[in-house]
């Protein structure tokens, strides 16, 4: 039987190259399935160790197109998977859902507000929800000695180091960005005392009581809730402290 170079080449590219990940099986396969194929095609350099599995996939795809062309058929078009959602987006969704679950269980009457604009900072949140900056309840992630705690304060207040050290026994320090999400389960700009990944001690500063209602974040950079300061502290089991510098009362 005369060996066909075209037939052997197509068979090499469409059948044998995909089998190259298992070189020991090739000889047995040829001996039983295709005795008409020149063994030199299979063993004389054709099945050297592939550089990568991706390279094999590309070769196999190209070979399939060649065989379809020889038969007068159009080549297959590669299907590209839809791009995966960035991990940050997935984390934000999970964070928001944990807050939804928290309120569904503990305070179903409180609705989560969703803004069209970013509310990641106090200034942005005040614009997004049309309130004065002091009403934005910001949640600070702090490390005090070996402890990690959350402190909820008025948006225009700042920590007074002397008061904080007297209250907590040490000067609080802000957590690193990567630690915040890992410990709280919430991304920066959406950190709140609700639906936490890890149970943490929570403190509410007296500056919040200057307002009848405050708006803390709700797990994402565009969500919040309207809540009274006392109700907020009650829901999260917070302890009231006076560790911030006095802010001007709202007009």
Confidence of residue 94 (pLDDT cuts 50, 70, 90): confident
246 pLDDT more than 60: yes
Instruction: Supply the pTM of this predicted model.
Output: 0.64
Q: What is the mean pLDDT of residues 55-71?
A: 45
Q: In 137-195, which ranges are continuous DSSP H helix?
A: 161-168, 177-184
Place of tokens 């009457």: 109
Question: Percent of the chain beyond pLDDT 70?
Answer: 61
Most trustworthy range by pLDDT among 16-25, 65-74, 233-242: 233-242
3-state secondary structure of 160: coil
112 pLDDT more than 80: yes
First to last CA, the chain: 100
- How high is the pLDDT of residue 25? 53
| 107 CB-side CA count, 13 A | 17
Confidence of residue 29 (pLDDT cuts 50, 70, 90): low
Q: Tell me the C-alpha to C-alpha distance, in Å, between residue 82 and each of 54, 94, 208.
A: 19, 21, 46
The per-residue DSSP string of 53-79 comes to HHHHHHHHHHHHHHHHHHTT-PPPPPP
């Amino acid at each position: 039987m005369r060996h066909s170079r075209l037939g052997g080449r197509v068979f090499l590219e469409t059948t044998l190259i995909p089998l190259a990940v298992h070189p020991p099986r090739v000889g047995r396969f040829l001996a039983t399935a295709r005795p008409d194929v020149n063994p030199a095609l299979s063993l004389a350099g054709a099945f050297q160790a592939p550089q990568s599995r991706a390279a094999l996939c590309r070769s196999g795809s190209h070979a399939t197109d060649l065989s379809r062309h020889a038969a007068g058929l159009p080549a297959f078009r590669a299907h590209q998977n839809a791009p995966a959602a960035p991990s940050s987006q997935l984390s934000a969704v999970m964070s928001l859902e944990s807050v939804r679950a928290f309120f569904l269980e503990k305070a179903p009457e409180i609705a989560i507000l969703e803004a069209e604009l970013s509310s990641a900072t106090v200034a942005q949140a005040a614009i997004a929800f049309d309130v004065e900056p002091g009403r934005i309840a910001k949640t600070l992630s702090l490390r005090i000695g070996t402890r990690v705690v959350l402190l909820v304060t008025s948006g225009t207040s700042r920590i007074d180091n002397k008061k904080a050290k007297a209250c907590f026994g040490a000067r609080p320090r802000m957590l690193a960005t990567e630690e915040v999400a890992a410990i709280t389960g919430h991304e920066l700009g959406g950190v709140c005392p609700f639906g936490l990944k890890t149970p943490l001690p929570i403190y509410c500063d007296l500056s919040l009581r200057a307002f009848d209602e405050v708006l803390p974040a709700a797990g994402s950079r565009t969500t919040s809730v309207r809540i009274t300061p006392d109700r907020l502290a009650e829901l999260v089991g917070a302890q009231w402290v006076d560790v911030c510098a006095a802010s001007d009362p709202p007009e």
